A = this chain, B = another copy of it.
Amino acid sequence: MNSFEFFSPTKVIFGKGVEQRVGKEIKAWGGTRVLVHFGGGSVKRSGLLDRVEASLKEAGLYYVLLGGAQPNPHLALVHEGIQLCRKEKIDFILAVGGGSAMDSAKGIALGVPYDGEVWDFYDRKANPVTALPHCNIPTLAASGSETSDSSVITNEDGWLKKGYSTPFNRPKFTLMNPELLYTLPPYQTACGIVDIMMHTLDRYFSYGGVNEMTDSIAEALLRNVIHYGPICMEQPENFEARSEIMWAGSLSHNHLTGLGKPGDWSPHQLEHELGGKFDVAHGAGLAAIWGAWAYHVYKADVSRFVRYAQNVWGIQQGDATPEETAVKGIEATRNFFHSLGMPITVAEMLGRRMTDEEIEDLTIKATWYDRRTLGNLMVLDKDEIRKVYQESNVEKM
């Protein structure tokens, strides 16, 4: 087991109706002037925003609203939020929505007390020394942003999508009500299921350390998501299934499933470029690229993929070779993604093949213009990254 640090201080308040406690909780944490940051109209249409505003008013809190958070949240909105917070002397940020609202809220929280350009943090040119406190009411089970230390923002200047992790990104608290997921369209539910699995898979498949406690929690989480995910698709108002997926979503990205060993994260990083360039949903992009990545790298650690096939999918090796069993695990994963209506190649996702120029653009951006390689299960340099994008550039695998 490698040395590790684990710091997940976000207070989780989980259950029916918990969003109505938001005013009281923010007040208890010392907030007085609140930015309420949300996405599109669904938060308004569902009446959630009304309940939030009522709770804030009841607690005697001043607040301003900032909507407009979109999937692959844009830097321009973060800038707008920073300006608004400074003008309104905001001291607490509340995100209401999915990963996009929570991630741009984190960007705003980092940027308000910082004199420079907030993109500096995402671009590894500066480190924050403080941030505004923030909390959230998630309406999606996917990103894990409600308890995670990470935030992903897309810079419209060049469409670079970059994630940044810092303890300052940890929310003070999260109010998680699985009922808020009942109205999610199946496509968004499916994207969330893939994203949750990938937060654990990108930690599970890696090189450079072993932690059995971590691995066995990861496998338990994956089995749960595989079991309850389809129930959420078929029965959108099944409280138990939504609860299991929502809680798995947080545990999958609060780092519990990656302690004491490095993560690989290549699929996430390959997807970030797809998301930034084609503005596709994160979960769909992950489903589309994972298979090509897995086939490209599994021979670097066949035994790991065999363990995955056995412990997560219950595949018995029998007379099969380890390679065959490894492939069965990869296929089971892809078939599962397909059964949720997710694409399993990039060409399938886009409805067309990418051009060579597009692949070259993705490749160079994924290396941060030759400043990095990806992953560790198999280290992917520029040539290997290009190959994975090419291998995913087919209608069927």
A residues apposed to B, CB below 8 Å? 1-9, 11-16, 18, 178, 210-213, 216-217, 219-221, 223-224, 227-228, 239-240, 243-244, 247-248, 251, 256, 259-260
Residue of B whose beta carbon sits closest to that of A3: B15
Bound CA span A9–B223, Å: 27
Query: Is the beta-carbon distance between B247 and A213 smaller than 8 angstroms?
Result: yes
Bound CA span A16–B260, Å: 12
Query: Is the beta-carbon distance between A1 and B247 smaller than 8 angstroms?
Result: yes
A257 CB, nearest partner CB in chain B, Å: 10
Query: Is the beta-carbon distance between B7 and A11 smaller than 8 angstroms?
Result: yes
Query: Is the beta-carbon distance between B212 and A216 smaller than 8 angstroms?
Result: no
Given known contacts A6-B12, A14-B6, A260-B14, A1 and B216 CB-to-CB distance under 8 angstroms:
no
Bound CA span A248–B227, Å: 25
Residue of B whose beta carbon sits closest to that of A248: B213
Residue of B whose beta carbon sits closest to that of A218: B220
Residue of B whose beta carbon sits closest to that of A15: B3
User: 12 pairs across A/B with beta carbons < 8 Å?
Assistant: A1-B178, A1-B239, A1-B243, A3-B15, A5-B13, A8-B8, A9-B11, A212-B244, A213-B221, A213-B244, A216-B224, A256-B256
List B contacts of A8 (CB < 8 A).
8-9
Q: Which 9 A-B pairs have the closest CB atoms?
A: A3-B15, A9-B9, A216-B220, A1-B243, A6-B12, A7-B11, A220-B220, A4-B14, A213-B247
